[in-house]
């Protein structure tokens, strides 16, 4: 808990691994036992509250956001004052016990609402980069760290990536949406009624239905959880694809995020539009990593359709991650 309120903005870490043995990579990281995952999460300062999986990957809703475990990839994002980067070395160690080798890493986050409340190594982006440089293998030679600014808003996008090879465009792209100043009426949907007689799972399912989150991607199987007295998280599974939403609804520091991965022919823009409509935010930032330019333009178009004005579009290139396009939108003139 931050001094003035809860930090909604997540820190996100993606680790990719490879093996010379195809039979190893069929199961890969999914062979990690739950006790090992719990130990890593304890170092980060969060726990598992709900879980769901299919033949492609395992999904965990955390007390502070989400974890996805694929055979050759881990995605973990945590909010609040968690120490996400302390998971880097343990994940690498456990992967090595499974004969898996780290080949790429990407760390991203927005601008913290309460930066002074963050513990080491998250006290600044400079400190985070130094920590990453000290805790990843030297052979990840294609490295870059950058802060992508936003014109006219306080939102900035922080990116560190490293890999053994330059980026290849035959992988899914990632869309990360951060929303602040949520509509107060819509945000109230994410508060629980006192003594409602429900647990986190049943209350979460109610919130998913009431808000229309279940309609963002009707093909997804949703694992959701409602916190007490307020807050909400969900992971969606659609084949080998994931989506996730996290909500901190309190007035004064309200925040919601939506994230998904996509392929070129997907209409991810429509999912982004539906997600933004659920929350009615005052400010939206969208970071797309390695998406085609027309995908970014479609996202811009659908967000403008619901009454928001584009304020900024900044582009940066990362040798191990590809192109990052960072767009910001607001409801009112700044």
Q: Would you state the pLDDT for residue 26? A: 78
* pLDDT the model gives residue 333: 59
Instruction: Give the confidence band of 63 by pLDDT, cuts at 50, 70, 90.
Output: very high
Give the percent of the chain with pLDDT over 90.
84
Q: pLDDT confidence of 24, banded at 50, 70, 90?
A: low
The pLDDT tens digits for 113-155 are 899 999 999 999 999 999 999 999 999 999 999 999 987 677 8
pLDDT at 16: 97
The residues assigned a catalytic role are 7, 10, 65, 79, 233, 246
Q: How far are the Cα atoms of 5, 50, 107, 113, 140 from residue 279, in angstroms, in the given order?
A: 19, 23, 26, 18, 39
Least confident of 20-24, 97-101, 174-178, 260-264: 20-24
Q: What fold is seen in the domain 11-330?
A: 3.60.90
What is the rounded distance in angstroms from the CA atom of residue 179 to the CA atom of residue 194? 27
Res 223: pLDDT: 97
Average pLDDT for the chain: 93
183-187 long-range contacts, CB within 8 A, separation 24+: 183/279, 183/280, 183/281, 184/251, 184/254, 185/280, 186/211, 186/278, 186/279, 186/280, 187/247, 187/249, 187/251, 187/254, 187/279
Alpha helices in 63-124 (DSSP H): 88-97
- Buried b / exposed e across 5-25, counting CB within 10 Å, b at 16+? bbbbbbbbbbbbbebeeeebb
Residue 334's pLDDT is 47
* Alpha-carbon separation of residue 171 from 65, 217, 244 (angstroms): 24, 21, 19
CB atoms within 10 A of CB 120: 12
**Residue 96 has what pLDDT?**
95
Q: How far apart are CA 330 and CA 308, in angstroms?
A: 5
- pLDDT given at position 1: 39
CA 136/CA 124 separation, integer angstroms: 19
Is cis: bond before 256, omega within 30 of 0? no
pTM of the predicted structure, to 2 decimals: 0.94
Dihedral sign from CA coordinates of 33, 39, 40, 41: positive
Q: Tokens standing for 294? A: 């027309």
- Tell me the mean pLDDT in the region 193-204: 92
Q: Which residue is it, tokens 């931050």?
A: 2
Digit-coded pLDDT (tens) for 91-120: 999 999 999 999 999 999 999 989 999 999
pLDDT digits (tens, 9 = 90+) for 242-269: 999 999 999 999 999 999 998 766 779 9
The CB-side HSE value for 128 (13 A sphere, CA atoms) comes to 26
Helix then strand then coil, in percent of the chain rounded to 5, is 30, 35, 35
What are 159's two structure tokens? Answer: 């990116």
Per-residue pLDDT at 166: 86
């Amino acid at each position: 808990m931050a001094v003035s309120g809860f930090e909604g903005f997540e820190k996100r870490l993606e680790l990719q691994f490879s093996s010379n043995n195809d039979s190893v990579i069929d199961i890969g990281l999914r062979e990690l036992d739950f006790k090992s995952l719990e130990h890593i999460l304890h170092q980060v300062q969060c726990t598992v509250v709900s879980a769901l999986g299919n033949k492609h990957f395992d999904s965990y809703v955390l007390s502070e956001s989400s974890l996805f475990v694929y055979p050759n990839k881990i995605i973990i994002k945590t909010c609040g004052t968690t120490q996400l980067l302390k998971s880097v070395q343990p994940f690498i160690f456990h992967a090595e016990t499974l004969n898996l080798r780290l080949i790429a890493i990407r760390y991203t986050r927005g601008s913290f609402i309460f930066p002074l409340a963050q513990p080491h190594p998250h006290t600044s982006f400079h400190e985070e980069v130094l920590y990453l440089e000290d805790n990843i293998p030297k052979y990840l030679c294609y490295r870059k760290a950058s802060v992508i600014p936003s014109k006219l808003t306080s939102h900035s996008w922080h990116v560190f990536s490293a890999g053994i090879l330059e980026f290849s465009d035959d992988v899914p792209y990632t869309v990360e949406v951060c929303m602040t100043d949520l509509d107060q009426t819509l945000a109230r949907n994410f508060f629980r009624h006192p003594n409602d007689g429900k647990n986190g799972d049943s209350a979460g399912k109610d919130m998913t239905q009431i808000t229309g989150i279940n309609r963002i991607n009707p093909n997804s199987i949703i694992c959701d959880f409602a916190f007490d007295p307020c807050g909400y998280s969900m992971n969606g599974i659609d084949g080998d694809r994931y989506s996730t939403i996290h909500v901190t609804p309190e007035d004064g520091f309200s925040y919601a995020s939506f994230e998904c991965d996509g392929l070129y022919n997907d209409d991810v823009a429509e999912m982004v539009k539906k997600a933004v409509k659920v929350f009615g935010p005052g400010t939206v930032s969208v970071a797309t990593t390695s998406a085609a330019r027309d995908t970014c333009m479609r996202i811009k178009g659908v967000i403008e359709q619901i009454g928001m004005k584009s304020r900024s579009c900044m582009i940066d290139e990362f040798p191990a991650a590809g192109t990052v396009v960072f767009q910001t939108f607001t409801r009112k003139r700044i």
